[in-house]
Amino acid sequence: MTQALEASPTSMTNRQILQAMSGLMAGMFVAILASTVVANALPRIIADLQASQSSYTWVITAELLAMTATVPLWGKLSDLFNQKLLLQLSLSLFVVGSLLAGFSQDVGLLIFSRVVQGIGAGGLTALAQIVMAAIIPPRRLGKYAGIFGAVFAVGTVAGPLIGGVLVDTSWLGWRWCFFIGVPFALLAIALLQRTLKLPTVRREAKIDFLGAFLIVAGVCALLIWVSLAGSEFDWMSWQTAALTGGGVLLLIAAVVVETRVPEPIIPLGIFRNRTVTLTTVASLLVGVAMFGGTVFLSQYFQISLGKSPTVAGLMSLPMILGLLVSSTVAGQIITATGRWKVYLVAGSVIMTAGLGLLSTIEADTPFGLLSLYMAVMGVGVGMLMQNLVLAAQNDVPATELGAATSVLSFFRSMGGTIGTSVLGAILANRVATEMTKGLTEAGIPAGASESGGEGVPDMTTLPEPMREIVEHAYGVATADLFLVATPVAALAVIAVLFIKEKPLKDTSGMERLTAESAESAESAESAGTTASPAGVG
């Protein structure tokens, strides 16, 4: 297999890196905005399109499924084709999906458009970190993580606020929740074209289409199961058996295919690398613990604490600020010292402690104390998440940067999906139990609750005694979620402890790729020279 680069890359200056990152940051902001801006708009969207509660679930799930399932495929494509073009393609898909969503007249087209958006977001999620590794040496990569942390924080906080304003503005409406990302995506495409200079990889590309289909189908089957089990059907049902059995069989078939093709979508050989395996396990556990626990905080703010959606969005600021500050500071220190494992260990321990503290919250927990708990967890997550990727990228050949990075993103997203579904089921069951207990103690008939624990009650319509029962139920149930997430996070501490610290490389992915290509060419030439005398008549 031959491989050549159009131009030999040279080390980039800080100014060139920042210019190149401008397009990446715009793209990441688009991906984050897509998932957060519709949060407060969905009830109005579903009502306007006269859709069902099941459709509500699918509008959320469709993008997540498409994003998670396609991340490995984008990662593999980045090892075969020009990464800048792939980034621009993923942004273009996002634009198409956003326009389709904005102009949707029925929920079927809206769900389809969310799938297209999810495929584009999957590309942005995988490729942004891959491109960063390509242009920035691992030793210098830490200092730039804080910039992406800022983009993440702004997108996360601003998204729900922007969505609420758009929905409540009569001359705009919910359709602008989808349109608003289009100019940012077009800006990102233009910035990438102007500022990002990556060599074109010329090599014999063999895409494993069968493996890609089996991986996507198997993952989708399992994600559909964890997303809908407990709400659309029972955990123990024929649907569960069909989806889990089918998903496992498809993934087993995918493993068989991946071991036999020359260019697998997920090179199974990378799991022989201890660092990649342990960072993958840690990423999965972080996804379960963090995403699974924090996704329900907004509901806790609104129901247990009685806050509006806009205020609920602002109340998550301590966690976001903790993440931003710790990510930035840790990145600067890692760049200055070259030591990184201590921040992985400290981050995982602090994240576990934060989750443990959040497991003590109640309906009347003071916001100051709650802010402290959220900030502790944010600090831990900020020290851990990006540096897991750094550790893996530092320890693989340049030709496997895309695969290793996308595998970590894939398992983190899958962990988040699993955590959200499982912990959501725990929340629903605990809310139902606590409400029944509270109603019985108050002498109120169990049928008096409209939700019965099955839906989210409208707190503005509930009488005072009922409101107190519901607030208490959601406070207790939310604390239980963090209690379950805490030991999961503790397992991440164990995984991180076994990672072996290796010196950070001083060369970027592009430079390493050039060196590896030269070594491969020299080896091939040497082998040919050695073999030629034997071939002489």
* pLDDT one digit per residue (tens) for the chain, 537 residues: 444 444 434 456 677 777 777 888 888 787 777 777 776 677 678 778 887 656 766 777 778 778 877 887 887 787 777 888 888 999 999 899 999 999 988 888 998 998 899 899 888 877 887 787 777 777 777 667 666 766 766 676 677 777 777 877 778 888 888 888 888 888 888 888 888 777 655 555 567 778 878 888 888 888 788 777 776 778 788 988 999 999 999 999 988 988 888 777 777 888 888 899 999 999 888 888 777 666 678 778 877 887 776 677 678 788 888 888 888 888 888 888 888 899 999 999 999 999 999 999 888 888 899 999 999 998 998 888 878 888 888 888 877 777 787 788 788 877 877 777 777 778 878 888 888 887 777 677 655 554 444 455 555 666 677 778 888 888 888 888 899 889 999 999 999 999 988 888 776 666 666 666 566 666 656 656 555 444 443
Distance, CA of 245 to CA of 241 (rounded, Å)? 6
* Positive or negative torsion for Cα 34, 393, 197, 5: negative
Neighbours of 366 (CB within 10 A): 8
Question: What are the tokens at 3?
Answer: 């491989």
Distance, CA of 246 to CA of 224 (rounded, Å)? 12
Neighbours of 375 (CB within 10 A): 20
Question: What are the tokens at 164?
Answer: 């609420």
Distance, CA of 399 to CA of 509 (rounded, Å)? 8
Please name the residue that has the structure tokens 């697998």: 264
H helices present in 338-463, as ranges: 341-358, 367-394, 401-442
Question: What are the tokens at 507?
Answer: 């060369």
Q: Which residues are CB-neighbours of 248 under 8 A, at least 6 positions away?
A: 218, 222
Are 505 and 138 in contact by the 8 Å Cβ rule? The answer is yes
Are 216 and 73 in contact by the 8 Å Cβ rule? The answer is yes
Question: What are the tokens at 411?
Answer: 């398992």
Question: What are the tokens at 453?
Answer: 């624990």
Q: DSSP assignment, residue 508?
A: -
Cβ burial 272-291 (10 Å sphere, 16+ → b, else e): ebebbbbbbbbbbbbbbbbb
> How would you classify residue 443: left for phi > 0, otherwise alpha for psi between -120 and 50, otherwise beta?
left
Question: What are the tokens at 401?
Answer: 């940067």
Question: What are the tokens at 333?
Answer: 């220190």
Nearest to 222, CA basis, from 426, 417, 428, 425? 417
Stated as kind and residue range, the H or E segment containing 119 is helix 107-135
Helix (H, G, I), strand (E, B) or coil at 104: coil
Are 290 and 347 in contact by the 8 Å Cβ rule? The answer is no
pTM of the model: 0.76
Beta bridge partners of 203: 3
